[in-house]
Structure 1
Amino acid sequence: MLEAGAALYEYRKKSYRVGGAVRVARGVYIGASEPISHDELRQVASGAIALTNQRLVFLSSQRTTSIEHADVLSLDSSGTSLIQIHTAKRKTPVILTVSDHDAALLVLLIKLFSAGNFDSRYLPDGLVIEPVHNGSGDVSVNVRQGASGLELTR
Structure 2
Amino acid sequence: MSDIALFYDPKRGSADVTVASGDLASDLGFETAVMLSLFTDRRADDTRGWWGDSVASVAGDLHGSRLWLLSREKDQPRVLRQAEEYTREALAWMVEDQVAARIDVVAESVPAASQSELLLSVVIQRPDGTSASYRYAYNWESQAARRA
* TM superposition score normalised by structure 2: 0.26
Greater fraction helix:
2
For the pair shown, which has the larger CA radius of gyration, 1 or 2?
1
* TM superposition score normalised by structure 1: 0.26
